[in-house]
Amino acid sequence: MDAEKREILQRRISRVRKAARKSGIELFLVSGEENKRYLSMFSSTSFDLVIGQERSWLLTDFRYLEAASETEPLFEVVEVTGEYGLKDFLKEKRPASLGIERAVLTVREFDSIRKILPECEFIAADGIAEKIRAVKDTQELEKIRHAAGIADRAFSWILGEIRPGVSEKQIAWLLERKMREEGASALSFDTICASGVRSSMPHAHPTEALIQNGDFVTMDFGCVFEGYCSDMTRTVAVGSVSEEQREIYRIVLEAQKHACEKIRAGMTGREADVAARDIISRAGYGKYFGHSLGHGVGLEIHEAPAASPRSSEILEKNMTVTIEPGIYLPKKFGVRIEDLSVVGDTGIINLVNSEKELIIL
């Protein structure tokens, strides 16, 4: 592991230690896949991380020992065998308190740990790693920017493929293929492509429905690059648009742009949400914007912070947040426009560069 990576990991681990100390956690059993990856830069289908105040351990089996040794000396690598596993390790360490991630640790795993540590106090460690992960470092932002760039290129390419007679599924597949060709290792989630009346369903799965003249087509998609996700949405029209379609698009775009101008570090997630929601509500469509404005994006497609009407989280510099207002008119059509941004002290940096004025193909 090079010095730069080690320094990044050291910083992350010491932040976790500080938070664990505050919560009275002696050993922190990290269970969340993305949390484990974030704290060790190691990934395999089977390993455990245990973080203590002085020492930390990475437990894995023979298949991954060599790769895991990269994490030394930050982690002491412990070999798991048929006879020796996580429970034996914890039994040896006998912590007075163990931090657990309740959202991920299964009831079965918890039961078996509780049995071997009858004196141990179990402390909820939910959110410790997630909170640290919310603020991105330069390397992470570069990966997210790259993933967003791939999606941008796929969008400008797909515009040439959208025409009457092409199915939603076909569009979704072409977007996926293009992103993979451009270097994505995976999709960050199943691509959404909804045309015509189906665009009124915010998260419609693509069907065999064929695109027709007069349709809005909403595409919500993103990819993974070096472990980091991107997320964007555009709604385009095919052939022609009605006055109502044009008006709804105009309102969503105004709300989206306004939020892009307003969002900055120090705001709450609620204030960010309101920046867009006010414009949609004042236009009389508040009840047709039934989801929150946005969410953080990183190792996971949905992570902290939440930009929602109920979020008191403070947006901090170098957090990412999506800005994705929408209006959905049941049985008619829907519009959503989504950018992915990095929060700064005086405003955002938009990682999505695709056109967002109404495109009529």
Which string of x and - marks every residue 67-96 that binds Mn ion (by CB under 5 A)?
------------------------------
Q: Which is nearer to Mn ion, 26 or 338 (CB)?
A: 338
Q: Which amino acid is at 169?
A: K
* Near Mn ion in 95-134, by CB under 5 A: none
Q: Which is nearer to Mn ion, 195 or 322 (CB)?
A: 322
Q: Which is nearer to Mn ion, 28 or 328 (CB)?
A: 328
Please count the residues of this chain forming the interface with Mn ion, following the rule CB under 5 A. 2
- Other residues' Cβ atoms within 10 Å of the Cβ of residue 11: 11
Contact (CB, 8 A) for 179 and 303: no
Question: What Rg value do the Cα atoms of the chain yield, rounded?
Answer: 23
295: nearest Cα among 235, 345, 220, 226: 220
Q: Supply φ then ψ for residue 12, to 5 degrees.
A: -65, -45
Minimum distance from residue 285 beta carbon to Mn ion (Å): 20
* Near Mn ion in 193-252, by CB under 5 A: 231
Q: Which is nearer to Mn ion, 26 or 231 (CB)?
A: 231
Minimum distance from residue 330 beta carbon to Mn ion (Å): 21
Minimum distance from residue 21 beta carbon to Mn ion (Å): 34
Q: Which amino acid is at 355?
A: E
Minimum distance from residue 302 beta carbon to Mn ion (Å): 7
Alpha carbons 216 and 22: distance in angstroms, whole number: 51
Q: Which is nearer to Mn ion, 135 or 297 (CB)?
A: 297
How far from 274 is each of 137, 254, 310, CA to CA, in Å?
27, 13, 10
Q: Which residue is it, tokens 């950018």?
A: 339
Which string of x and - marks every residue 286-325 that binds Mn ion (by CB under 5 A)?
------------------------------------x---
Minimum distance from residue 6 beta carbon to Mn ion (Å): 33
Alpha carbons 25 and 52: distance in angstroms, whole number: 8
User: Which SS3 state, helix, strand or coil, does residue 188 take?
Assistant: coil
Q: Which is nearer to Mn ion, 154 or 238 (CB)?
A: 154
Q: Which residues bind Mn ion (CB under 5 A)?
A: 231, 322
